[in-house]
Structure 1
Amino acid sequence: MILNRQQIMEIIPHRAPFLLLDDVLELEPGKRCVAEKHVVKEDFWVPGHFPEHAVMPGVLIVEALAQAGAVAALSVPEYKGKIAFFGGIKSARFRRMVEPGDTLRLETEMTRMRGPVGVGSCKATVDGELACECEITFMIK
């Protein structure tokens, strides 16, 4: 582990219950971040999605990937203290359900950066099995 939850909060503005990263495993500022989310039955979405069979909402998986991208982007000194906002989500595909007890590995790699606007290629896996892949566009303000 490179960064724990407290250190992540020093980089991105997200806070509980919406901070979806538990650890950062790899970080190349401005280029790449690999993080983890330990999915637990205490997560805020579990009681309502779905009561009989909890499944992590796909939009929250994409949000977790975006937060990993924000860690990479906002680790660059010129963006310290800023916020990365969604600009778009492209080609999101969900390949497996993510449930309490799973550890979600989140990988976001910056593929383009033009001024404060960037694009990240993202994938989320559980035990090496692809759960989600997408491309995100973001703007730093």
Structure 2
Amino acid sequence: MHNEPGGSSFDIKGILKAQCNRSPMLFIDRVCECVPGQSARSEKNFTYNEWFFPTHYEDDPNVPGFVLVESLTQSFLMAFLSLPEHFGSRTSFLNIKDATFRRRVVPGDRLVIDSQIASFKRGIARGTSIGRVDGELAVSAEVTIGLPKILEQYKPKT
């Protein structure tokens, strides 16, 4: 694994260095492939030990939609937070569009997420993330994420 800025893959230690999400809100386990500034392929292994399964739902556990969307987003973050100049930066969710849920994700499933940056300008990254389980589409969304440290430069001065 390459856990440093500009790396092509990250284990959990590298992910923790690159982004600000922490347990219990960290929803990717590793980044298998990364082309900094372009794309990332990440994985999340869901086990029954996850904090949300007992209440969602005890008799029919499945991953809540917000967790799936956050998993997609965290994979997308790694596509640009892997760049040396943005490594470890804070991010802000600006928009989510066309979130689609096609398959339930349950304990024991591995969600493989492919994230692609469509544009990255002035601290705003736009793109898509698609999550699959066993090759079958489970969830997808278009996301827009901002980097506050860059966005601040473009605020009108008072």
- TM norm. shorter chain > 0.5: yes
1:22 maps to 2:23:
no
Matched, 1:123 2:130: yes
Deviates more, 1:78-87 or 1:107-116: 78-87
Structure 1 unaligned regions, length at least 5: none
Conserved? CA contact 1:74–1:84, under 8 Å: no
In the alignment, which residue of structure 2 is the partner of 1:72? 79
Equivalent residues of 2:115, 2:130 under 8 A apart? yes
Aligned residues: 141
Structure with more strand by fraction:
1
Alignment pair present for 1:12 and 2:19: yes
The answer to whether structure 1 residue 114 and structure 2 residue 121 are counterparts is: yes
Runs (4+) of structure 1 exceeding 6 A deviation are: none
Q: Name the CA distance, whole Å, in 1 between partners of 2:115 and 2:35.
A: 11
Q: 1 CA distance for matches of 2:75 and 2:46?
A: 16
CA distance in 2, matches of 1:25, 1:114: 25
Larger Rg: 2
Output the TM-score relative to the length of structure 1: 0.96
TM-score (norm 2): 0.86
Q: Find 2:98's aligned residue among 73, 91, 94.
A: 91
Give the fraction of aligned pairs with identical amino acids, expressed as a percent: 33
- TM-superposition CA deviations, 1:18-47 (whole Å, max 9, x none): 111111110011110100000000111111
- Partner deviation per Cα, 1:65-91 (whole Å, 9 max, x = no partner): 110111111111221231121111101
